[in-house]
């Protein structure tokens, strides 16, 4: 599973309330935090929230290179978990 800069940009630009990036059934999706408890997202792996991503020092104005570095870090962590 590979997280891309575009996935993180989607998370940053989302209009959803408290958006989170999750891995579900082999695909990445941005969902609101309240949907984490929904049956349709049962088994989803929470990767990170927009708030966590902002705390890492990236935001909507960050370059694709900065987002790619963050994406690579997240991908490595997920792959090490076997996700």
Beta strands across the sheet bearing 27-32:
27-32, 19-24, 45-49
Calculate ∠ Cα 8-57-25, nearest 5°.
25
What torsion do the CA atoms of 21, 24, 26, 31 make, to the nearest 10 degrees? -30
* pLDDT 10s digits, 17-63: 999 999 999 899 999 999 988 999 988 999 999 999 999 999 999 99
Q: Where are the domains of the chain?
A: 5-81
pTM, entire model: 0.90
Q: Model confidence at 82, in pLDDT bands (50, 70, 90)?
A: low
Other C-beta atoms within 10 Å of 43: how many?
A: 9
Distance CA 7, CA 26 (A): 14
Distance CA 31, CA 66 (A): 23
pLDDT at 83 > cutoff 60: no
């Amino acid at each position: 599973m590979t997280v891309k800069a575009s996935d993180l940009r989607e998370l940053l630009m989302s209009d959803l309330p408290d958006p989170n990036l999750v891995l579900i059934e082999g695909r990445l999706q941005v969902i609101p935090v309240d949907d984490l408890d929904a049956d349709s997202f049962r088994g989803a792996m929470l990767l990170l929230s927009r708030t966590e991503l902002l705390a890492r020092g990236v935001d909507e104005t960050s370059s694709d290179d900065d987002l790619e570095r963050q994406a690579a870090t997240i991908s490595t962590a997920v792959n090490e978990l076997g996700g």
